[in-house]
Amino acid sequence: MKPFLALLGLAMLTALPNLSAADSIGRFRHVVLFKFKDGTTPDQIAKVESEFRKLPSQIDAIIDFEWGTSQTVEVELAQGYTHCFLVTFQDKSGLQTYLPHPAHTAFVDLVKPLLDQVHVLDYVSSR
């Protein structure tokens, strides 16, 4: 669990949202890490990336979005997680709008069969 928390902390520290520092304080952040099943093809992964990137244009509650793939040199700490997504909302009610939204549930239906593991951490940003 400690390696996972270290990886998650690194992901959050390196996140540079489009919001200015002053504007980002108090925002509700939704961090999602994906570990794909063995045998998941590059085309399937590309489809997941593409569909996740579409969510901000489909769900008004999302005020910022960024993602990336693992670049860690400490491979053992990554535990097979390759993708990190950071979704930002004005507040917790944004997440509560996002989770049951039809675009999000369709995305979950797409990605769920391809995932070995997923980790989610929600937090309120502070300085």
Q: For 44-74, what is each residue's pLDDT tens digit? A: 999 999 999 999 999 999 999 999 999 999 9
The parent domain of residue 70 ranges over 2-20+27-124
Q: Quick one: pLDDT at residue 76?
A: 85
Q: What is the DSSP string of 14-81?
A: H---SS-HHHHTT-EEEEEEEEEPTT--HHHHHHHHHHHHHHHHH-TTEEEEEEEE---S-HHHHTT-
Report the CATH number at residue 73.
3.30.70.100
Tally of domains within the chain: 1
- Checking if the pLDDT of 117 tops 60, the result is yes
